[in-house]
Each structure stands twice: as C-alpha cells, then as structure tokens.
Amino acid sequence: MKTIISIVDNLSADKLSYTQAVDLLTNGEVVAFPTETVYGLGAIATSEAAVAKIFEAKGRPQDNPLIVHVGSKKEIKAFTHDIPNLAEVCMNTFWPGPLTLILPLKTDTLAKNVSAGLPTVGVRMPEHPVALELLKQLKQPVAAPSANKSGKPSPTKAAHVYHDLKGKIPLILDGGTTGIGLESTVIDFVGEIPTILRPGGITKEMLEKVIGPVGEAKPTDHEEAPRAPGMKYAHYAPDSPVFLIEASIQKVQEAVEKIHNEQKKVAIIASDSFNQVQVDYFFSLGDENQLDDAAHLLYQALRDCDETDVEIILVPVLSKKGVGKAIMNRLEKASNGNWFHN
C-alpha cells in the first residue's frame, strides 16, 4: 500500500484532503490525523473490520481498548449511558481538549474491538482544528489510538507516523507538530470517585478545581488487573535501554564516565542545564523551568535516539509538578522503572 502524506493548513482548510480522509474512513479504511496531544490513527468506531485495521497496522495487543473521538458532545449519547454529573462538568469545562473520560458503554453500539470487551468506553473531543474539522465532516465517532507502532513513543509529527506505519495505512493528514506532545489525561468516571488512570496535560489540580477530590490509579504492577489496560505494556521505549538518574550534573557526569570506561556510547535527554556534560549525544528538553517545553520535546528526543548508535540513554528526573507528573509517568515506562546505579 502506498502511504500518502497530505499537508493540511489549519487556516485555509484543504478541502480535497478532508474529502479524501472522509471517503477513506467511510469506506472502512484507517487515516492518521493530528490532534493537540499526539497524532491518532482513526477508523469508524462502529465498524469492527475497520477498527481491526488499526490493531493490525500498529501491531497493538487486542486487549488494549481504544479512545473514541467525537466532533460534538451530543454524539456520545448514542453509545454511553448514565453519565455522572461530574463527568458532564468536565466535558463542559475541558472539551474540546486533552481529556479522555471513561464512561459506561451502551451495549451493541460500538464495534466490540473498540472497548476490548469492557463495559466501558473512553471518549474525548479533540481541540486540534484538523481533527475537529475531520470529525465534524464525518459526523461519526472515530476510534483512534496514537498513530505509532505499538510500544514506540507516540508521534508528534507526520514524519513519525510515516516512519512507523508507511506502507500499512493509506493517508496521513499532516497538520505540523502537535501542541502538547503527550497523550490526553484519562479519567475514570465509572468507579466510586473520579480517578486519573493516565496523567496528561489536564492535571489533577485543574480537575480538582472543577469537580473536587480526584483519585490517582497506582502505576500498575503486573499481578493486578490493570484499570487502563494500556498501562501494563512496555511503552514509549527507544531501541536502547533508558535509565533514570538523579538530576545532578555531577552524578550524570560520573555515570557517563563509567559508561565510557565500558566502551559504550551514551546519550542524555535533559534540560539545557545538562548540556555541559561531555557526552556522545545530547537531546534537549529545553529550559528546566518550562515543563511544557519538555512535554513537547520528549517523544522527538526518544525517537532521535533510535537514529544514532547510542547504547545507553540517561534521563535526569524532572519535577513532578503540573505536567511534570505526565512526563515522569512516560519516562518511568520508557525506562521500565530502571535507575542508573554507579
């Protein structure tokens, strides 16, 4: 299959690209498109055959459910039921935007492979103008995970999607680099109290301001049945191992020397304050006081490592304040929780 990349300018909407995307989706094909978080790989959420193509293209495990994207709030009435008040408040406050709500799923509405057999479904209305325009023209819910090969960092550029999925999908709508750079916050409204299953750009503090106390799911250990099934898989991982390390220039310098003594190449992914360390490759996460920049740059940096001959990747830990919690959540997965020990 030939993969076409179609550049869509946010302002002067490219009619032909949208028509092509709508036609492909309507005919049961998959299409990659930008959202304000990361690029998604979409299919019509009511077609089991179309949704199966997402799993196939990504190599995604079948028991990991997909997020359903809608162009308007009223669309969710068709496939959810008993929406709690607090969930309504969240939708009114944060949609369109990077917040996914887990809600009770109406039986026999969406394709079964969307929710991996769960009685619940994750929904969000994205804010990106290209995603919104596509959904509004289509007028149907779209199931879409991140448009990366399963296990790799989510794509923040059309080129990342092309790198991972070329030859496997027919069309990528290229809307430039995504804004936030990390996937949406996932919040569960089915349990006793609203609980964050995956931290993201909408933080716990922002949620609590509008709905009061919010719980946080523990990072899933493998014994426990995972609440966000995706959390149990290795994720966001470059080819070479990632190690977390204390955010001290001296500690990082010592670690690099030790790795060099073993004749290995080492990369650092860190804020600019670490660029004085003598290292083989340095990938910047920007100014250490700008966590938004780090969120924006992280997946590109993890992908950049795969373009080098690096053997070990060190990441000094970042603050867990605000979006820092989401950044560290992804880094804990990329590193499999491994710390570098001198």
Sheet holding 195-198, edge to edge: 4-7, 171-174, 31-33, 40-44, 142-143, 67-69, 120-124, 99-104, 185-188, 195-198, 215-216
Nearest to ligand TXA of 51, 231 (CB atom)? 231
Q: Does 38 bind ligand TXA (CB under 6 A)?
A: yes
Q: Which one of 80, 146, 178, 300 is in contact with Mg ion (CB under 5 A)?
A: 146
How many residues bind ligand TXA (CB under 6 A)? The answer is 30
Provide the minimum distance between the beta carbon of 37 and ligand TXA in the complex, in angstroms, as a whole number: 3
At closest approach, how far in Å is the CB of 124 from ligand TXA?
6
Gap between the Cα atoms of 220 and 134, Å rounded = 34
Q: Is 144 in the site for ligand TXA (CB under 6 A)?
A: yes
Query: In terms of Cα–Cα distance, which of 141, 137, 110, 111 is closest to 124?
Result: 141
Strands 99-104 and 120-124: antiparallel
In this structure, what DSSP letter does residue 113 have? Answer: G
Interface with ligand TXA includes 115 (CB under 6 A)?
Answer: yes
User: Do 253 and 278 touch, CB atoms closer than 8 A?
Assistant: yes
- State which of residues 6, 46, 113, 146 lies at the interface with ligand TXA (CB under 6 A): 146
Q: Which of Mg ion, ligand TXA, none binds 42 (CB below 5-8 Å, type-dependent)?
A: none
The C-alpha atoms of residue 6 and residue 17 are separated, in whole angstroms, by 6
Judged by CB under 5 A, does residue 329 bind Mg ion? no
Ramachandran angles phi, psi of 181, nearest 5°: 95, -10
Per-residue three-class SS string for 160-188: HHHHHHCCCCCEEEECCCCCCCCCCEEEE
H or E segment and range at residue 281: strand 281-284
In the range 39-78, which residues lie near ligand TXA by CB under 6 A? 40, 64-67
The distance of closest approach from Cβ of residue 334 to Mg ion in the complex, given in angstroms and rounded to an integer, is 13
Binding-site partner at residue 184 among Mg ion, ligand TXA, none, CB < 5 to 8 Å by type = ligand TXA
Rounded CA separation 203/192 (Å):
20
- Taking CB under 6 A as the binding criterion, the range among 24-32, 120-128, 208-216, 326-334 that sits at the site for ligand TXA is 120-128
Under rule CB under 6 A, residue 102 binds ligand TXA: yes
Instruction: Name which of residues 167 to 206 contact ligand TXA (CB under 6 A).
Output: 183-184, 186, 197-198
Q: Is residue 118 a contact residue for ligand TXA (CB under 6 A)?
A: yes
Size of the residue set binding Mg ion (CB under 5 A): 1
Q: Write out the residues near ligand TXA by the rule CB under 6 A.
A: 35, 37-38, 40, 64-67, 98, 100, 102, 115, 118, 120-122, 126, 144-146, 183-184, 186, 197-198, 227-231
Q: Write out the residues near Mg ion by the rule CB under 5 A.
A: 146
